[in-house]
Amino acid sequence: MTADQIGPTSLPAGLGEAIRGTADDIAVLLREVRDTAVPVPGLTWTLGETAAHLALANMLMADLAAGREHGYGDGTVEGIAAANERALAEFGERAARPLAEMIVAQTGAFLAADRGTAPVNTPMGTMGQVVLGSYLLTHMLGHGYDIARAVGRPHMLDRRRVELSLPFMVEAMPRVVDPTTARRLTARYTVRLWGGARFGVTFDNGAATVDPVPSGRADCTISIEPVTFLLMALGRADPRGAVARGRVLAWGRKPWLAPRFPTLFKAP
């Protein structure tokens, strides 16, 4: 039985491999680190704090996969951030190598969990095991990128891993709409990742619904390079720079809606 087919609920083809591979890639970066007190570009955390957060999050995900639910924040972006800070304050490990081993071990525990079919409660709402796996991958990719930047090494994001993050992104996007920037917006977007993946986002007076298969005619179609999409969605890339580098294109009846799209969400 492969990492993609562990437990009663199978993960989609390639997801388990991507989860394990991402954890291994992060561990390789961390094992070379001597000073974890260095800052992480774009974050308020040090490298040690970022790695500790990732280790704790992987432990939480492994517990959720095994049916051991935990309360963690109130489901809002602000509530999750506060829960993250509390968890870090209570967990003292900051050394790179022990954290690398913990990240890999908890990833293995997630993949080996005796999965049931019932949805589980997560910090980002109720979701099934497949979306939970996509959530774990997305979270590791975001902080793996942070760690790679902190140590000056190439990151591990690629088109395939980004596509495997989409089940979680589609599930989570309505929960992270910024009510201020989305206020009164009524519009239909189609987002197309280079290489074929796509989804639709419809705003009705500021409330968003996301469709894994776009339906109807979009007001604005956004075509975006996959890694750029995930980095923008996680608040790691400047949309203006992405447009300037030709990694984002837009067309449709209302192409002027494209620059507004990234501002409609708050990254958790």
- Give the per-residue SS3 of 75-105: CCHHHHHHHHHHHHHCCCCCCHHHHHHHHHH
* Domain tally, the chain: 2
* pTM across the whole model: 0.94
Residue 4's pLDDT band, with cuts at 50, 70 and 90, is very low
Residues 205 and 86 occupy one common structural domain: no
Residues 155 and 25 occupy one common structural domain: yes
Q: Domain boundary residue among 111, 127, 161?
A: 161
Q: Is residue 57 part of a domain?
A: yes
Residues 27 and 94 occupy one common structural domain: yes
pLDDT greater than 80 at residue 9: no
Residues 73 and 184 occupy one common structural domain: no
CA dihedral 31, 35, 36, 37 (to 10 degrees): -170
Average pLDDT over residues 182-199: 96
Q: Is residue 4 part of a domain?
A: no
Residue 179's pLDDT band, with cuts at 50, 70 and 90, is very high
Burial class of 13 by CB neighbour count within 10 A (0 to 12, 13 to 18, 19+): exposed
> What tens digit of pLDDT does each residue of 39-84 get?
999 999 999 999 999 999 999 999 999 988 888 888 788 899 999 9
Residues 205 and 91 occupy one common structural domain: no
The parent domain of residue 33 ranges over: 15-161
Q: Is residue 81 part of a domain?
A: yes
Q: Is residue 2 part of a domain?
A: no
CATH number (domain holding residue 89): 1.20.120.450
Least confident span in 6-10, 38-42, 249-253, 263-267: 6-10
Residue 168's pLDDT band, with cuts at 50, 70 and 90, is very high
Q: Domain boundary residue among 105, 127, 161?
A: 161
Residues 32 and 153 occupy one common structural domain: yes
Q: Is residue 61 part of a domain?
A: yes
Q: Is residue 149 part of a domain?
A: yes
Q: Is residue 1 part of a domain?
A: no
Residues 188 and 145 occupy one common structural domain: no
Instruction: Give the separation between CA 266 and CA 268, rounded to whole angstroms.
Output: 6
Average pLDDT over residues 132-147: 98
Residues 196 and 120 occupy one common structural domain: no
Report DSSP letters for the chain, one per residue.
Answer: --TTS-SSSPPPTTHHHHHHHHHHHHHHHHHT-S-TTSBPTTSSSBHHHHHHHHHHHHHHHHHHHTT-----S-SSHHHHHHHHHHHHHT-----HHHHHHHHHHHHHHHHHS---SS-EEETTEEE-HHHHHHHHHHHHHHHHHHHHHHHT------HHHHHHHHHHHHHHGGGGB-TTTTTT--EEEEEEETTS-EEEEEEETTEEEEESS--S--SEEEEE-HHHHHHHHTT-S-HHHHHHTT-EEEESS-GGGGGGGGGGB---
Residues 246 and 207 occupy one common structural domain: yes
CATH number (domain holding residue 227): 3.30.1050.10
Q: Domain boundary residue among 113, 128, 161?
A: 161
> What tens digit of pLDDT does each residue of 215-253 get?
889 999 999 999 999 999 999 999 999 999 999 999 999
Residues 41 and 137 occupy one common structural domain: yes
Residues 87 and 132 occupy one common structural domain: yes
Q: Say what the pLDDT of residue 243 is.
A: 93
Residue 7's pLDDT band, with cuts at 50, 70 and 90, is very low
Q: How high is the mean pLDDT of the chain?
A: 92
Residues 6+ apart with CB under 8 A from 44: none
Residues 20 and 151 occupy one common structural domain: yes
- Phi, psi (rounded to 5 degrees) for 220: -145, 125
Q: Is residue 136 part of a domain?
A: yes
* 97-128 CB burial, b ≥16 within 10 A, e <16: eebbebbbbbbbbbbebebeeeebebbbeebb
